[in-house]
Chain A
């Protein structure tokens, strides 16, 4: 049932609280940086290459670790390394909020000793790490966990674009479909580093997304925002 778990985790129906996050789309739209399907495509491309790649790397590493039944301390290290690769406090908070939501659903659907160890190390783990653990519990390989993380890095934000800007959902869906090769490439890279020492995992950055996340957080105090991030 490997396939089903990965599909369910990547499904917008998965009750992990992902629907309240736009991944920077709301802030970019509010600033007029994102207005139509082509600009959404550019945004998603950048998001996938930066934040998406990091998330895929850590999902794969977590799946690899879950398969190896690592000692409990490993989970704290993995979580701290992803913290170090997420410079924006707002993005860290968003990742941990989604991680906690995914734990909530995941403990019901795919309970495991690895998940227990992860929660013992940190009650609010980063989202990609939870994803990796759940995917591995269902038998998925690290590359499949990375594919899920890569897809989620753009699917939620693309949906936010449809909701906020009234974009043509079919056009946006086609944009997401067109990223298939990019996501596959990112998953390949993530799978190749899955067994590395956590400190040596890749760390591509997305400074613009970091800034947008911080700005979004600030604007909450001043004006209307529909999404948590």
Chain B
């Protein structure tokens, strides 16, 4: 029953945490620092495009910043800056010493430094997206660097990619299958690809999307919102 709270009417009590929208301060308060989201995947799978889409979709409601693992002042950081989806001051580029997987998994020092520089420069940040340099199917983020991680593969890479497995496909908190609009042209069977993805991942979620058709990545954005603000979500 809706409680009367002393000014002549009642409000509905809503127990659906998602209906009120994300709590803009939840990420900071639960962890004592911004939530760190890793985005990894093979070269060309669309990691940077997804990062830009998330900036577009979430930038107005979540205080966020991005660390790119790329070659300094070139492709990825420049793309994000020039796409106008984020204040250039909110982008830090990390050099990986020719080994993207080392920088996000084995020795995360350079990335932690970049994350902390952003946190220092922008007090009150809620989300830091760490985008990996393009690597292979074995690359995953250290849990010392990323609270959650998204692994991105693309249809153009072949519909056999999910079944090849690897820790990115099997253990990432979210698997994104990108460029589904190209499936027909590259002869990829989406039904097989999705079935394989679910078979490899068990209960872990899979989202198939086309940034050409939905430039703001609504499904992935919703997943990130839930991870940021949803009560009961337990970031490591």
Beta-carbon contacts of B96-116 to A below 8 Å, as 1s and 0s? Answer: 111100110011111011000
Name the one of B95, B99, B113 contacting A225, with C-beta atoms under 8 angstroms.
B95
B99 touches A163 (CB 8 A): yes
Does A174 have its Cβ within 8 Å of any Cβ on chain B? no
Is there a chain A Cβ closer than 8 Å to B223's Cβ? no
Residue of A nearest to B144 (CB): A15
Nearest CB on A from B144, distance (A)? 9
**A220-B72, A220-B73 in contact; A226/B109 too (CB < 8 A)?**
no
Q: Nearest-CB distance from B107 to chain A (Å)?
A: 4
- Interface contact B107-A17, CB-CB below 8 Å: yes
A101 interface residue (CB < 8 Å to B): yes
Q: Known: A97-B113, A226-B95, A228-B97. Is A19-B103 also a contact (CB below 8 A)?
A: yes
List, in ascending order, chain A residues with CB within 8 A of B103's CB: 19-20
Count, A-B residue pairs, CB within 8 A: 64
Closest CB of chain B to A115's CB: distance in Å? 16
Interface residues of A in 120-176 (CB under 8 A from B): 160, 163-164
A224 neighbours in B (Cβ, 8 Å): 71, 74
Given A20-B103, A220-B73, A227:B95 Cβ within 8 A: yes
Distance from B209 Cβ to chain A, minimum over Cβ atoms (Å): 30
A100 at the interface (CB under 8 A from B): yes
CA of A224 to CA of B96, assembled, Å: 12
A104 interface residue per 8 A CB criterion: yes
Q: Are B74 and A22 in contact (CB under 8 A)?
A: no
Quick one: CB contact mask for A78-117 with B, threshold 8 Å, 1 for yes? Answer: 0000000000000000000100110011000000000000
Across-interface contacts of A15 in B (CB, < 8 A): 106-109
Which A residue's beta carbon lies closest to that of B94? A20
Number of B residues contacting the other chain (C-beta, 8 Å)?
19
Residue in A22, A225, A228 whose CB lies within 8 Å of B110:
A228
CB-nearest residue of chain A to B108: A15
Contacting pair B99 A19 (CB below 8 A): yes
Q: Do residues A18 and B107 form an inter-chain contact, with CB atoms below 8 A?
A: yes
Name B197-224 residues within 8 Å CB distance of A.
Answer: none
Chain B residues closer than 8 Å to A226, beta-carbon distance: 71, 95-98
Cα(A20)–Cα(B72), bound, Å: 12
- For B99, what are the chain A residues with a Cβ–Cβ distance below 8 Å? 19, 163
Q: Is the interface of B mostly helix, strand, loop or mixed?
A: loop
Q: Which of A16, A19, A105, A220 contacts B97 (CB 8 A)?
A: A19
B residues 69-127 in Cβ contact with A at 8 Å? 71-74, 94-99, 102-103, 106-110, 112-113
Q: Could you say which residues of chain A place their CB within 8 Å of the CB of B112?
A: 104
Contacts of B109 in A (CB 8 A): 15-17, 101, 104-105
B34-74 toward A: CB 8 Å interface, digit per residue (1/0)? 00000000000000000000000000000000000001111
Decide if A22 touches B97 in the complex (CB within 8 Å). yes
Residues in chain A near residue B71, CB distance under 8 A: 224-226
Is A64 in contact with chain B by the CB < 8 A criterion?
A: no
Q: With the chains together, A104 CA to B103 CA distance in Å?
A: 15
Quick check: is A31 within 8 A (CB to CB) of the other chain?
no
Shortest CB distance B120–A (Å): 12
Asked if B73 and A20 sit within 8 Å, CB to CB, the answer is: no
A20 in contact with B95 (CB, 8 Å): yes
Q: How far is the CA of A97 from the CA of B106 in the complex (A)?
A: 17
Choose from A16, A17, A160 the contact partner of B98 (Cβ within 8 Å): A160
- 13 cross-chain CB contacts under 8 A: A17-B107, A17-B109, A17-B110, A19-B106, A20-B110, A100-B113, A104-B109, A160-B98, A163-B97, A163-B99, A226-B71, A226-B97, A227-B98
Chain B positions within 8 Å of A, measured between CB atoms, are 71-74, 94-99, 102-103, 106-110, 112-113
Closest 8 CB pairs of A and B: A17-B109, A101-B109, A20-B97, A15-B107, A163-B98, A19-B97, A226-B98, A228-B95
Given contacts A228-B95, A228-B110, 16 further A-B contacts (CB under 8 A): A15-B106, A15-B107, A15-B108, A20-B110, A21-B97, A101-B109, A101-B110, A101-B113, A104-B109, A225-B71, A225-B72, A226-B95, A226-B98, A227-B97, A228-B72, A228-B97
